[in-house]
Amino acid sequence: MSGVDWRLTARRFYLLPLRGAYRAVRDSRFGALARLAPVQRALRTLRPVMDPVDVFAVLDAIEARGVAVHLMGGWGVDALVGRQTRQHLDLDVICAMGEVAAIDAALSGLGYHQDHSEPGFVPECPIPARRFYTDASERRVDVHLMEPGLDLGVGPVFAEGSIAGRKVGCLSGPAQLVFTHGDYEPNPADRHNLVVMCEALDLPLPARFR
């Protein structure tokens, strides 16, 4: 059994029931126990991750609906450098604004439901909206919706990368850098992404990520 298959088996048959038990205790009259520090530390080790098999399932489902989809964010960086550099708790993809119905249907078929939507987080960027989806195991897919003819002013917007040896579409390195201009405080994962990408592609690392 491969490493990816083993993690999937562990998550489905061991981790998900444990998380279910935690939620049952949390929502009962014994909820205070669920807030104890040792319980919270153990819970963090049970957070679901997005493995390559999860990424491929999402890409395949969306593409099967005739929708072009590209990776961005952490998995987009890993696609650009050609290897997985860290664990990912979500998956960011970018699709056309007019394909929402097809995206909803594709992700629903995988057991994801839409939680909420938000405006884009980079001022004056032609990606005006994001939709957030989760499944029963609390994995998350963030869909960034772009306007037609996306032009970020940095040359080619899209590139080809690879995940676990499979070729995938993703944002180009310069396009990924555009999203560092958003009004948010970078976390350790954000810094990791940018350091890895800029070193691999010989791009300047933005000052706020140093």
pLDDT digits (tens, 9 = 90+) for 90-134: 999 999 999 999 999 999 999 999 987 776 656 556 677 889 998
Predicted local distance difference test score (pLDDT) of residue 47: 65
Looking at residue 41, what is its pLDDT?
63
The CATH number of the domain holding residue 131 is: 3.30.460.40
Q: Is 61 helix (H, G, I), strand (E, B) or coil?
A: helix
Residue range(s) defining the domain that contains residue 158 = 52-209
Instruction: Let me know: does 174 contact 155? Beta carbons within 8 Å.
Output: yes
H/E segment holding residue 175: helix 173-178
Residues 170, 75 share a domain: yes
Confidence of residue 60 (pLDDT cuts 50, 70, 90): very high
The tokens describing 86, both together, are 């860290």
pTM comes to 0.76
Q: What is the mean pLDDT of the chain?
A: 82
DSSP conformation class of 112: -
Number of neighbouring beta carbons within 10 Å of residue 91: 23
Is 100 in the same domain as 202?
Answer: yes
Q: N- to C-terminal Cα distance for the chain? A: 39
Q: Are residues 100 and 7 in the same domain?
A: no
Say if residue 4's pLDDT is above 50. no
| Number of structural domains found in the chain | 2
